[in-house]
A and B are shown apart, each in its own frame.
Chain A
Amino acid sequence: MLKDSTAIVGIGQTEFAKRLEESELELACRAINNALEDAGIEAKEVDALGSFTFEENDEFEVARNLGFGELHFWSQAPYGGGASCCAIGQVALSIASGISEVGVVWRARKRGDPKSRMWSHTEDKVDDHWKWSRPSGLVRPADESSMLMRRYMHQYGYTREDLSFVATTLRKYANKNSVAYMCEKELTQEDYMNARMISDPLCLYDNCLESDGAIAVVLVSSKRAEKLDNKPALIHSFSQGMSSEHQLMTDYHGKDPLKSSSYVTAENLWKLSDYSPQDVDVAQIYDAFSPMIPFSLEAYGFCGEGKALEFISEGGIAENGEIPVNTSGGSLSEVYLHGMNLVVEGVRQIRGVSTSQIANAKVSLVTTCDATPNGAILFKGE
């Protein structure tokens, strides 16, 4: 029912910066307005909304600012970095099933200010599952991700030098993307090796940026998309995934903690698809922390178990590599907006307008956070 029946036809964003003066509501409105203009669709036609449970802007606030008409569907996807593809997939399902006709999904976030770091708001008493880790000093997402990377390095004989290629490869993409936060700054392996440690074995450059901005996308049926000017990015397949015994971020209690929820998403995504990993031309892989890229490459079947860092260090995710990854610079070097920048870059690759365009890209994968319940979308160009 869903396969190829809906498409992203509009993308819009604000500037990306350490600090933007506008409120999150203003940022959301501007990004959505840009996405609707890009699609060539009137705001009053929008009747479905998708957002994140972490989003601060209410649906009705967004709707009455943009002048939307009567709405028929809205949903929010949970778990921050795991949410983008899930929010989009749910709106796509509502369009494919006939509940709604024009959907908007957005994320606006002011995260540049260090005071906005979620871990820094840890309270005196921890009542959720973090009660089993934060009192022992495992407090930040970087610590939680680092735990798995050290095990992976130990198990497969890798070092920080091997991991450095994730950050340096993504920075090269950002250097070609004029809107990327890190466009002007080069990053060498030497810079990486000398960087301050954040949670050993992860250093500064293994962490995503802390930035302000907003991004939005517009979805319609593929039939409607035919009448619009933009080349549609068809939603070919979509799935969410949560593994057995999953625990958010401290996902250490399954049979093998190196087998994340991404394995669940990937298996179903490929099952629902006409394609296999070898057919994918370009991928945008969620990267709040650099380990998530090698872990996801293995989960989605781009390389064998324990092989990802070797694959990356040999140029596998670079522009001329086997599977170019995060071609706008990703969360490490373009902007951190809970992965919505990865979605619009996945669409740009299908349109043929990326600043690191992969020639004739027809199949474009976008994933979400490896360490949370997550989801992924496989886009197809006609």
Chain B
Amino acid sequence: MIKNIPVPGIEEYEKGFWEAALESKLVVQHCHDCDQPRFPPRPMCPQCHCLEYTWNQVSGEGEIWSFVVPRPPLLPVFEEISPYAVGLVSIKEYPLIRMIGRLKFNNEQNEDNFEEIIIGSEVQVSFQKISEEICLPYWVMG
């Protein structure tokens, strides 16, 4: 099994997302013509079939839609830090856009206190650098 955090491969139509992430900005792909937002990024707008797109920055605020706490057996890199929480977070500006990311407490003493995690509570995006090209979004709880 791999030893490191698996790194996402970057397609042409995903570059905008990861370039913004390197600058600690969260962006959402929009259709160039009809402005429809979409996630995950893809080449074509499902509404008007336009192949051009833009990237709009969002506040980075979101709401926990759900979460899990994985336990072993896991990939070694995750087994080392388990138990940990992974959340599915609704973006404040576009509640139907949901992104996955680690859920972390802003207070480290709370680290393993998963009972404190409440669906519906607010979180703020932050970024962890895992490779030259990738800053991975995660979510910080209040």
Contact = CB atoms under 8 A, between A and B. Distances in A.
B38 to A, nearest CB: 9
Interface in A241-277: 245, 247, 250, 252-253, 255, 257
Contacts of B134: 135
A131 B101 CA distance: 11
B55 interface: no
Contacts of B2: 122-124
Contacts of B7: 124-126, 135
A19 interface: no
Contact of B6 (A134, A143, A198): A134
Contacts of A255: 96
Contact of B102 (A127, A137, A245, A250): A137
A253 B98 contact: yes
B138 A136 contact: yes
Given A123-B6, A200-B114, A147 B70 contact: no
B69 A197 contact: yes
A200 B98 contact: no
A127 B7 CA distance: 9
Nearest to A124: B2
B83 A200 contact: yes
Contacts of B5: 135
Contacts of B86: 136-138, 143, 147
A130 to B, nearest CB: 8
A116 interface: no
B94 to A, nearest CB: 11
Interface stretch (A8-16, A148-156, A353-361, A362-370): A148-156
B99 interface: yes
A374 to B, nearest CB: 21
Given A120-B75, A138-B70, A150-B67, A125 B40 contact: no
A314 B56 CA distance: 50
A178 interface: no
Interface residues of A, number: 42
A136 B130 CA distance: 11
B119 interface: yes
A91 B8 CA distance: 38
B58 interface: no
Interface residues of B, number: 40
A257 B100 CA distance: 13
A133 interface: yes
A202 B69 CA distance: 9
Interface string B23-47: 0000000000000000110000010
A200 B96 contact: no
B6 A124 contact: yes
A140 B71 CA distance: 11
A6 B1 CA distance: 45
Q: Which of B9, B39, B73, B88 counts the most chain A CB atoms within 10 A?
A: B88
A323 B69 CA distance: 33
A18 interface: no
B8 A137 contact: no
B101 A136 contact: yes
Given A147-B88, A253-B98, A255-B96, A132 B8 contact: yes
A44 interface: no
B68 interface: yes
Contacts of B100: 132-133, 136, 138, 250, 252
B40 A129 contact: yes
Contact of A154 (B69, B119, B136, B138): B119
A53 interface: no
Interface string A187-216: 000000000111111100000000000000
A260 B41 CA distance: 21
Contact of A199 (B69, B97, B101, B119): B69
A139 interface: yes
B8 A257 contact: no
Contact of B84 (A123, A132, A137, A257): A137
22 contacts: A122-B1, A122-B2, A122-B75, A123-B6, A124-B4, A124-B7, A126-B6, A132-B8, A133-B100, A134-B6, A136-B136, A136-B138, A138-B86, A143-B70, A151-B65, A151-B88, A199-B70, A200-B68, A200-B69, A247-B40, A252-B65, A257-B88
Complex A-B, nearest 10 residue pairs according to Cβ-Cβ distance, in ascending order: A131-B8, A151-B66, A200-B69, A127-B9, A146-B68, A154-B119, A138-B86, A133-B100, A137-B78, A199-B70
Given A136-B101, A137-B84, A257-B98, 16 more contacts: A125-B9, A126-B8, A127-B9, A131-B8, A131-B9, A137-B70, A147-B66, A147-B68, A147-B86, A151-B65, A154-B119, A197-B71, A198-B70, A200-B83, A245-B46, A255-B96
